[in-house]
Amino acid sequence: MKDPLIAIAAGIAILSAGASSIGEGYLCGKAIEGMSRNPEMYGKLRSSMIIGCALVETCGIYSLLISILLLFVF
Amino acid sequence: MPYSSESFKSFNPTGEIILALLIIGVLMILAIVVGILAKKADPTKKPRGLLLLVEWCVEKLDATVHETMGPGFENFGGLLLAIIPFLFLSFTIGITGLPTPMSNIAVPLTLALITFVLIHVTSIRYTRWRYFKRFIDPIPVFLPVNLISMWAPLISMTLRMFGNAIVGWVLISLLNSLLGNISSAIFSFAPAGLNSVFITPIVTPVFHAYFDLFSGFIQTMVFVFLTMLFIAQERPEDVETEVALATRKENHV
């Protein structure tokens, strides 16, 4: 049987996904603000917003990888 | 273990690698077919069918490359047209229930390695011997820091694709086992082994559509844009380099 502390550690490791989702929401909000200010920039802002979202999401994915490794390796 | 014929015989690829090779084979056949079609096509007539689709893709891609990377990368669309279908197919093949090739870390690592090598090749192409200056930028004390941070794009791109694929796989398999348990609890009158299949096919398609199609599309786009941006930033900003001049001259003549 596994050490139950590992499950708690995995749960703590995934907490950083919350922070990254806050950042993602802030990014999207700001991008939409910019889009509504000048709609002709819509295409450019959308593509850079998606890239920014992916970059921010990487942090969450790292934390998820760490928690998966904690669950499956130990 | 030394290299020998034995080590080739014991080559034992996993399902992901076989699927990746299969996708590459299908795309190669498709590329050859398109090449033959393009050679046979009459340039005075309108393209039809597959050729029309491919021409539209090439046009869009060239416009995007020109818009994102600026001058000096006119032939860059070819690489992207080779990478995009492979990436998209290998993400979306998970919708059939087969393992995504991206969930074996060798595949995303290879794709990220292409970008990584291209970044440095482009840097050498534009700056020649000044390339080595990037390791002691801004002062020589930063050499160890630069030597470590040089690998950051490789690792982050690999782990982004690998992480996304593995996240989808883990969530969908967790969901499958949960729905199987719920189903066998509700339909406990059905024979064992059969009672766990009633709820799963109704609920999982939505998640497959999100994690395979949508996430695959986004990751393909992100990888392509990051490749273009990383490579384009290796070009010196306002210095009119010899290579850019040469390519411009070629295009005008």
CATH of the domain at A52: 1.20.20.10
Structure confidence by residue, pLDDT tens digits, B106-150: 899 999 999 999 999 988 888 888 888 888 877 888 888 888 888
Please say if the pLDDT value at position B191 is more than 80. Answer: no
Question: How many domains, in total, are found in chain B?
Answer: 1
Give percent of chain B above pLDDT 90. 12
| Interface list for A 33-62 with B (CB within 8 A) | 47, 50-51, 54, 57-58, 61-62
Please say if the pLDDT value at position B240 is more than 70. Answer: no
Please say if the pLDDT value at position B32 is more than 90. Answer: yes
Q: Does B167 sit within 8 Å of A61, measured CB to CB?
A: yes
Instruction: Count CA atoms closer than 13 A to A36's CA, side-chain side.
Output: 5
**Within a domain: residue B58?**
no
Give percent of chain B above pLDDT 70. 89
Chain B nearest-CA distance from A71, in A, is 12
d(CA B116, CA B129): 19
Determine the Cα angle at B234 with ends B158 and B139, to 5°: 95
Mean pLDDT, chain A, integer: 85
- Chain A neighbors of B165, CB-CB under 8 A: none
**Within a domain: residue B199?**
yes
Is the ipTM, as predicted for this complex, more than 0.90? no
Whether chain B has a CB inside 8 Å of the CB on A68: the answer is: yes
Is residue B147 within 8 A of residue A49, CB to CB? The reply is no
Q: Does B167 sit within 8 Å of A64, measured CB to CB?
A: yes
Is residue B27 within 8 A of residue B85, CB to CB? The reply is yes
- Residue A35: which residues within 8 A CB-CB, separation 6 or more? A41, A42, A45, A46
Please say if the pLDDT value at position B196 is more than 80. Answer: no
**Within a domain: residue B196?**
yes
Mean pLDDT, chain B, integer: 82
Query: How sure is the predictor about B44, in pLDDT bands with cuts at 50, 70 and 90?
Result: confident
**Residue B134's CB: how many other CB atoms inside 10 A?**
13
Among B237, B215, B199, residue whose Cα is nearest residue B161: B215
**Within a domain: residue B30?**
no
Range of the domain at B130: 79-235
Question: What is the torsion angle, in degrees rounded to the nearest 10, for the CA atoms of residue A12, residue A14, residue A18 and residue A20?
Answer: 130
- Chain B neighbors of A68, CB-CB under 8 A: 166, 170
Query: How sure is the predictor about B245, in pLDDT bands with cuts at 50, 70 and 90?
Result: low
- Residue B20: which residues within 8 A CB-CB, separation 6 or more? B90, B101, B104, B107
pLDDT of residue A1: 57
Range of the domain at A19: 4-73
- Chain A neighbors of B164, CB-CB under 8 A: 61
What is the reported pTM?
Answer: 0.79
d(CA B39, CA B31): 12
pLDDT of residue B1: 43
Looking at this protein, which amino acid is placed at residue B35?
A: G
Choose the closest CB to A65 out of B156, B163, B218: B163
**Within a domain: residue B179?**
yes
Is residue B154 within 8 A of residue B116, CB to CB? The reply is yes
pLDDT of residue B86: 92
Which of A16, A27, A28, A47 should one mutate to test binding to chain B, selecting the residue with the greatest count of B CBs within 10 A? A47
**Within a domain: residue B43?**
no
pLDDT mean over B181-210: 81
Q: Does B222 sit within 8 Å of A51, measured CB to CB?
A: yes
Looking at this protein, which amino acid is placed at residue B167?
A: V
d(CA B202, CA B62): 41
Q: Which residue of A has its CA nearest to B166?
A: A65
Structure confidence by residue, pLDDT tens digits, B12-31: 777 888 888 999 999 999 99
- Chain B neighbors of A45, CB-CB under 8 A: none
Please say if the pLDDT value at position A29 is more than 90. Answer: yes
Instruction: Count CA atoms closer than 13 A to A44's CA, side-chain side.
Output: 7
Structure confidence by residue, pLDDT tens digits, A33-56: 999 998 888 878 887 887 788 778
Give the position of tokens 């998820």.
Answer: A64
Which of B64, B87, B160, B162 should one mutate to test binding to chain A, selecting the residue with the greatest count of A CBs within 10 A? B160
Among B132, B74, B117, B119, residue whose Cα is nearest residue B232: B119
- Chain A neighbors of B230, CB-CB under 8 A: none
pLDDT of residue B6: 61
Question: How many domains, in total, are found in chain A?
Answer: 1
Return the number of CB contacts < 8 Å for A and B: 35
According to DSSP, residue B206 is labeled: H
Q: Which residue of B has its CA nearest to A72?
A: B170
